[in-house]
Amino acid sequence: MSVKIDEYIAKAAPFAQPILKHLRQLVHQACPGVKETIKWSRPFFEYKGVILCNMSAFTNHCSFGFWGSEMGAVLRDQKVVQEEGMGSFGRLASLADLPPDQKLLAWIGQAAAFIDNGQHTSPMTARRSVVKPLIQPPAEFSAALRKNKRADAAFVALSPSCQREYIEWIAGAKRPETRDKRIATALEWIEQGKQRNWKYESAG
């Protein structure tokens, strides 16, 4: 196991440490050949040189997500994907927020099987396959950008495809409170020069 991930977990908030340790144990149990690494300042698990999944700790929650587009489709079909927060299962504030161990083990094993069978598709590949024209941003997002000059300037500097990803994410919110949360998150990320899918960007 990676010493760097040991250090990452040790530096995480007390509530997060049991979650991260448990997820780590499940990944190794379901996929004994997995390798640990740090990418974009968070723990990633690779299998046969391919990213299998990753986990993160934040101030008030953790996240855990699968990398392959195929696993994303499986989880959406099973209606377990959570929109709020990064990762596949939303904001994880305690062990009770995790899906049952048996399901997690099965999903991790299935993700590894996709890699074994050559069926794994990086989300970056799928994301780059289609280029769409820029759509009109929601009025609330435009207003928020006007109030934040740094974010506004950074947003203008983004490529049309990167702008579209933020706009579609915000426009896709079904509830006003979800839209407002996404706008706040988007402004924070844009100010930092991050793309909407920055967690999938290449480290190189």
Q: Are residues 98 and 25 in the same domain?
A: yes
Looking up residue 28, the CATH number of its domain turns out to be 3.90.1150.200
Range of the domain at 29: 3-122
Q: Are residues 53 and 105 in the same domain?
A: yes
Of the three residues 61, 96, 122, the one that is the final residue of a domain is 122
Question: Which pLDDT band holds residue 107 (cuts at 50, 70, 90)?
Answer: very high
pLDDT digits (tens, 9 = 90+) for 146-166: 999 888 888 888 777 788 889
Please give the structure tokens belonging to residue 14: 């007390």
Instruction: Based on the fold, state whether residues 97 and 140 are members of the same structural domain.
Output: no
Q: Does the pLDDT value for residue 63 go beyond 70?
A: yes
Q: Which of 78, 103, 122 is the last residue of a domain?
A: 122
The total domain count for the chain is 2
Q: Which residues pair with 57 in a beta bridge?
A: 62
- Cα dihedral across residues 69, 100, 20, 116: positive or negative: negative
pLDDT of residue 127: 46
Shared domain check, 10 and 111: yes
Give the burial string for 157-190 (b: 16+ CB within 10 Å, else e): ebeebbbbbbbebbbebeeeeebebbbebbbebb
Pair 93, 145 in one domain: no
> Looking at the structure, do residues 101 and 48 belong to the same domain, yes or no?
yes
Could you give the CA distance from residue 45 to residue 65 in angstroms, rounded to a whole number?
10
Are 25 and 115 in the same domain?
A: yes
Identify whether the C-beta of residue 164 lies closer than 8 Å to the C-beta of residue 135.
Answer: yes
Residue 105 has pLDDT above 50, yes or no: yes
Among the candidates 122, 140, 161, a domain finishes at 122
The model carries a pTM of 0.60
